[in-house]
Amino acid sequence: MPEAPLRTTTARGTEILVEPLSHVRSCSVGFWVRRGSCHEGSTEEGLAHFIEHTVFKGTERYPDPETLSAATDALGGHLDAFTGKETACFYGKVLREQLPDLLDLLGELVTAPRFEAEELGRERSVILEEIAQSEDQPDDWASELFYLNFWKGGALAHPILGRPEQVAAYGPAEARAFFHKTYRAPNLLVAAAGDLDPAAFLDLLNPILDKLPEGARNEAPRPSRPSPFLLNVPRKDLQQVSLVMGFPACSHQAEDRVATHLLAQILGGGMSSRLFMELREKRALCYQVGSYPTHYADTGALQIAAGCSADKAREFVQRTVAECLRLARQGARPEELERARLQARTSLVFGQESSSARMFGLAHQAIHMDRVRDLDAQLAELEAVDLDQLNAVAARVLNPEGFAVSALGTRKGRDIRPEDLVG
């Protein structure tokens, strides 16, 4: 019987989750910050991501990038970070013997960055290059345009990387101000999984967390409300149209979350999915197409991503809408639900075999759902979704009135048109 995860909160408000895993030889730890791009103000866009980069440029005990890089390499495992819409995370994976060193480095990053002007200037140039590169990646840019327009005017529309003109102005003062109001005890969560003892882990961790300043948790961002749109962006330099489409869907904690995941699997979750069979195998309109749900604190989307030639873009969208409507009106077949359930069940079980996957899963549940469930509970949720519930969700979500399309690389005269979206 696997040992249940330890879940506790320090006196200063930092939540800690620790799960021993007897079948692995590694340890994975993540320091999670409950603040991403959607928490930024209009003058702060990109600062969460800016901080994620610049803390690696030197800390009190590792004063320059070279020293910090040498300490990272000495771990034998890996150390990394990312910024999302709702969180940022600094994480690593090592053998058990290197766990104290990993915690030491992670602790330095979240408690003692130096933010020196010269190093920030160099890293700022790197971030500006990253922004420019993202605009040159059609799939990434089509996705960014989708977020910008689907949640226009809301917090989710803030670009994670920021806008070049704003990022170019960020320096030590802006970094320190954002860091000090964000990196405090109630805004952090530490998740760990692997070959470790919870009591010994807490003994190592608590002195690090004691360095975090106290204070209140940052306020939640203003709500984002999805809205339908159609955006054609011509790009003569692109050989294909990159499409990101979607319907409004549920939040992290909604009762229909699991059913929405199964619906996305049936619609475009593999080579036997509705969209893959209709658009690629039957019509040869694309090479790849997929659908996936995205959930946030108070909203979500069921998204569809694909690429196709400019002369096929209109037919591609028309047939996508038609297939969605067919599923909404006729419902899924029992065998489709069972296949989607098996795929989801397999993914959950496979996730238990990796310390890093389990660490990410623990943190996701605690941050976004305020509960931690074991594997059996998650599998039970999958089994509880019946065909009637799934089809009710399909009828509600796959509504063309809420459909949104971001199309990058269209050609004049071959633009996607409003009449293509009605089914």
| Annotated catalytic residue, options 40, 45, 52, 108 | 52
Q: For residue 191, what are the β-bridge partners?
A: 17, 30
Question: In angstroms, what CA-CA distances link 401 with 195, 198, 227, 298?
Answer: 50, 50, 9, 20
DSSP 5-22: PEEEE-TTS-EEEEEE-T
Pair 296, 85: CB distance under 8 Å: yes
Which tokens belong to 250? 């549920």
Q: What are phi and psi of 229, to 5 degrees?
A: -160, 165
Which tokens belong to 19? 């799960």
* 188 SS3 class: strand
Pair 291, 280: CB distance under 8 Å: no
Q: Do you know the residue count of the chain?
A: 423
Q: What are phi and psi of 62, to 5 degrees?
A: -125, 85
Q: For residue 194, what are the β-bridge partners?
A: 20, 27
Instruction: Give the strand pairing for 404-410 and 230-234.
Output: parallel
Provide the phi-psi class of 79: left if phi over 0, else alpha when psi is between -120 and 50, else beta. beta
Pair 58, 120: CB distance under 8 Å: no
Q: Is 130 a catalytic residue?
A: no
Which tokens belong to 229? 């749109």
Cα 422 from Cα 403, distance rounded (Å): 9
Pair 10, 170: CB distance under 8 Å: no
Q: For residue 303, what are the β-bridge partners?
A: 246, 292
Cα 74 from Cα 117, distance rounded (Å): 27
* 236 SS3 class: coil
Residues classed as catalytic: 52
